[in-house]
Amino acid sequence: MPFKNRDIISIYDFSKSDLLHVLKVAAAMEKTPRSSLLKGKILGTLFFEPSTRTRLSFTSAMEQLDGQVMGFATSAVTSARKGETLWDSIKMIEQYVDIIVIRHPQEGSARLASEAAKIPVINAGDGSNQHPTQTLLDLYTIQKTKGRLDNLKIGMLGDLKYGRTVHSLAIALSHFTNIKFYFIAPDALRMPKEYRDALSEKGVPFEETENLFEVSKDLDVLYATRIQKERFPDPLEYEKYKGIYRLDKTLLTHIKPDLRIMHPLPRVDEISPELDDTKHAVYFEQAGNGIPVRKALLALVLGAVK
């Protein structure tokens, strides 16, 4: 399906060839970092929830292609505070910009925004639901650091219930051949049924365990996540699970020599900084890959590349 004017809302909307196409365009963007592809275009960044990497990398990507950016980084300064609905905000903002990137605490908000807007909308995270652009940069990182997207044993660790990045990534990887997942989480934070069912339907195998060391020797990629404090309805529940996993040098004797450790960041205490300088840690490089991948998405959706 062509990308021009398409909304990027859910990873379910991507076929395997769509995913591979974005990665191919991203690789081309990485080779020619600066150009005037998006000159005259304006991106609106609507961040109703905190963000560092996602907002800044979208901004940098747009500016490196000579486009412009306007927006907000907190809902505190918007008319949402005065009671304006998201629908009305979008109807108005779409008259100022050519494309919208939205992050919002509510699941389904990006879909709603895309229904309100005639211009394209990109989901930069809707509650605990999905984060499709993070997934594309995660795939790009796996392809670059492992040299393949097939034949992989992928561990996902931490808050698999509320972590939107692992939801989107599991579905995206299910398109590839000979993938096996290891979902490492306490029972209360396990991968939701919706995603387990989607994998089962596609015949993608997964194991669930609480104990990382039971499975760590099998893994090609270990994708760690933060316990999503802001999503817990009960703060006491969060207290039970915070700090439950902490990767440190003791991991190194229990892994394959070419394991790659990923994390969407920000980390709290899931990965000790003592791992940062090891060849396994690719999380900062992963964050950097947000630039070529988000350039590719902006240029594709705005019709500047095919």
Tell me which residues are annotated as active site.
53-54, 82, 103, 131
Residue 203 beta carbon to ligand NCD: minimum distance, rounded to whole angstroms: 28
For ligand NCD, the binding residues (CB under 6 A) are: 53-54, 125, 131, 134, 164-165, 226, 264-265
By beta-carbon proximity to ligand NCD, the closer residue of 145 and 165 is 165
Residue 4 beta carbon to ligand NCD: minimum distance, rounded to whole angstroms: 25
By beta-carbon proximity to ligand NCD, the closer residue of 37 and 170 is 170
Residue 177 beta carbon to ligand NCD: minimum distance, rounded to whole angstroms: 27
By beta-carbon proximity to ligand NCD, the closer residue of 89 and 286 is 286
By beta-carbon proximity to ligand NCD, the closer residue of 64 and 165 is 165
Q: Using H for helix, E for strand and C for coil, what is the string for the chain?
A: CCCCCCCECCHHHCCHHHHHHHHHHHHHHHHCCCCCCCCCCEEEEEECCCCCHHHHHHHHHHHHCCCEEEEECCHHHCHHHHCCCHHHHHHHHCCCCCEEEEEECCCCHHHHHHHHCCCCEEEEEECCCECHHHHHHHHHHHHHHHCCCCCEEEEEECCCCCCHHHHHHHHHHCCCCCEEEEEECCHHHCCCHHHHHHHHHCCCCEEEECCHHHHHHHCCEEEECCCCHHHCCCHHHHHHHCCCCCECHHHHHHCCCCCEEECCCCCCCCECHHHCCCCCECHHHHHHCHHHHHHHHHHHHCCCCC
Residue 126 beta carbon to ligand NCD: minimum distance, rounded to whole angstroms: 10
